[in-house]
Amino acid sequence: MTAKKEYDVIIIGGGPAGLSAGLYTSRSRLDTLLIERGVVGGRITDAELVENYPGFADGISGAELGQLMQRQAAKYGLNIVTAEATGLELKKDKKVVKTTQGDFTAKAVIIASGSERGKLGVPGEVEVTGKGVSYCATCDGPLFRGKTVAVVGGGNAAISEALYLAKFASKVIVIHRRHRLRATRVLEEKARAEAKIEFLWDTVVEKIEGEKALEQLSLRQVKTGQKSSLDVAGVFIAVGLKPSTDFLKGVLPLDEGGYIITNERMETKIAGVFAAGDIRQDSPRQAITAAGDGATAAVNAEIFLELKA
């Protein structure tokens, strides 16, 4: 933990967007602090294999990619503190980032706090989280070796989870509210070729049953309304993302989904405050685009600081 409290730039979030921004600002000799509440590298560290990041023809684990990004940025002097941002206060030419480790002040701020896994919001979900309900296959998948598990969702995250779980589980049942996956064709082809993966189409989870541990899922077929139950040892929920912007409400303009509105220079409505990555409105939510956003935000933060000097 550093005792220093004032910087040229503060970056909130240590995923690909934040680390890319930190690399650029640090190389430009701007005194930079990156604040990350969890694992540096962000959500990508949960990915067993990243196959679509340029430069890694055979793929690379998300954890290793995150470590490489961190090491590269730290090489140029990026300061990193483990803390959660709880607020942003604007004071004339300075911005105060409030955190669980105290307040930090900077002339420019880049918000790259990313997003969190969405929740189903059904009865039983909270009560059985950690007792059969999970949001991270790479974290908890090995606990379900030889058992039947379900994955809820139909996007890239859900199908990636299912493919990983197939290494351990005896059966993986993908529950999707539509009749077509939203995942990329490559991932879909891999999932359909995996004998352990089955699909329950046009189906939603209405309740998660179990007292001390998950016992079964209560399901509803959306087209017919028919209800059923499914016995599983675990359920992995991958139903979209929620931007981590609660600490910004009332400070920055957000869209209806809670995402930050920026222009092509990653500038927000507040001078000297930038946003990058998944947290930004209309972001493709890919590691490579997040890294590009971070670089763009950093370059324009430097220009902002030069003009203010």
Adjacent-strand bridge partners of 227: 220
> Which candidate in 8, 31, 136, 202 is catalytic?
136
Q: For 44-99, how does the pLDDT look when each residue is reduced to its tens digit (9 = 90+)?
A: 887 778 888 999 999 999 899 999 999 999 999 999 999 999 999 998 789 999 99
Tokens representing 47 are: 């990915």
Tokens representing 270 are: 């507040």
Tell me the C-alpha distance between 274 and 268, whole Å: 5
- Give which of 175, 118, 117, 180 is closest to 150, Cα–Cα: 175
What is the structure's pLDDT at 1?
47
Tell me the C-alpha distance between 24 and 274, whole Å: 14
8 noted as active-site residue: no
> Which candidate in 8, 93, 103, 140 is catalytic?
140
> Are the beta carbons of 44 and 15 closer than 8 angstroms?
yes
Query: 3 pLDDT band (50/70/90 cuts)?
Result: low
139 noted as active-site residue: yes
Q: Collect all residues with Cβ–Cβ distance below 8 Å to 154 and sequence separation of at least 6.
A: 174, 176, 177, 178, 180, 181, 182, 183
The answer to whether the 6-117+241-308 and 125-237 domains have the same CATH topology is yes
What is the structure's pLDDT at 241?
82
Mean pLDDT of 210-216: 91
Superfamily of segment(s) 6-117+241-308: FAD/NAD(P)-binding domain (3.50.50.60)
Q: Kindly list the distances between the CA atom of residue 189 and the CA atoms of 78, 155, 159, 193, 268, in Å, as whole numbers in the listed order.
A: 41, 13, 10, 6, 40
Mean pLDDT of 194-202: 97
> Which candidate in 103, 139, 231, 255 is catalytic?
139
140 noted as active-site residue: yes
pTM here? 0.80
Q: Rounded to the nearest 10 degrees, what angle do helices 62-75 and 16-27 cross at?
A: 20
b/e 28-45 (16+ beta carbons within 10 angstroms → b) = bebbbbbbbbebbbbbbb
> How far apart, in Å, do the first and last CA atoms of the chain sit?
29
Mean pLDDT of 236-260: 92
Query: In this structure, which CATH number among 3.30.420.10, 3.40.50.720, 3.10.450.50, 3.50.50.60 belongs to the domain 125-237?
Result: 3.50.50.60
Could you tell me the residue ranges of all domains in the chain?
A: 6-117+241-308, 125-237
Q: Kindly list the distances between the CA atom of residue 290 and the CA atoms of 15, 127, 174, 236, in Å, as whole numbers in the listed order.
A: 8, 34, 28, 25
